Amino acid sequence: MRVITGTARGVKLETVPGQDVRPTADRVKEGLFSAIHFELPGRTALDLFAGSGQLGIEALSRGASLCVFVDQDRRSQEVIKRNVQAAKVAERARILQADALAYLARCRERFDFVFVDPPYHCGQYGEILAALAPVLAPGGKVLVEGERDLPLEESYGLLLKQKSYRYGKTVISLYQKGEE
């Protein structure tokens, strides 16, 4: 696993040992970021279920001004710390140990981009998407990674599905916050 492009291009990232964290495949990550690449510079990002932090680190490498990494697993936090240091983006990263829904309930920040990549079969996709509108800036985007047959709605409150991208057994769904 590596950073694809930007200031940290080619930096190898550590993964969390075990089967609990499923890294995003390079071709999926490439497709995901090609959809938002030119919008990232100077914007803020939230990496929920951050795992190794690869999505947030890729955003920082491509010019995002800040990324908050949220994961409840202490091992993931340690790996993210090492990865942001290796990629030389630590000064623009904040790493928090928290349950995703609990974090969203108390978050007062607004983000331009949110990456949602929970463990497959977690059963929380709808609940998470419904909780995201308050933490999104106007026009903010949510990119959700899941299995191809994941039943996602066309909208969750102010979040409206814009497009879905399929990569083998994986689908990336892009939602955008509508007007309040």
3-class SS shares of the chain: helix, strand, coil, % to 5: 30, 30, 40
pLDDT digits (tens, 9 = 90+) for 35-89: 888 999 999 999 999 999 999 999 999 999 999 999 999 999 999 999 999 999 9
* CA atoms of 113 and 54, how far apart (whole Å): 15
* pLDDT value, residue 37: 86
Residue 19 has pLDDT above 80, yes or no: no
pTM beyond cutoff 0.95: no
Contact present, 57 and 3 (Cβ < 8 Å) = yes
CA-wise closest residue to 133 among 156, 115, 116: 156
**Structural domains of the chain, ranges and CATH numbers in brackets:** 26-177 (3.40.50.150)
pLDDT digits (tens, 9 = 90+) for 76-125: 999 999 999 999 999 999 999 999 999 999 999 999 999 998 876 667 88
Question: Which residue reads 């990324």 in tokens?
Answer: 67
User: How large is the average pLDDT for residues 127-145?
Assistant: 93
Please name the amino acid found at residue 53. G
**Helix, strand or coil, per DSSP, at residue 11:** coil
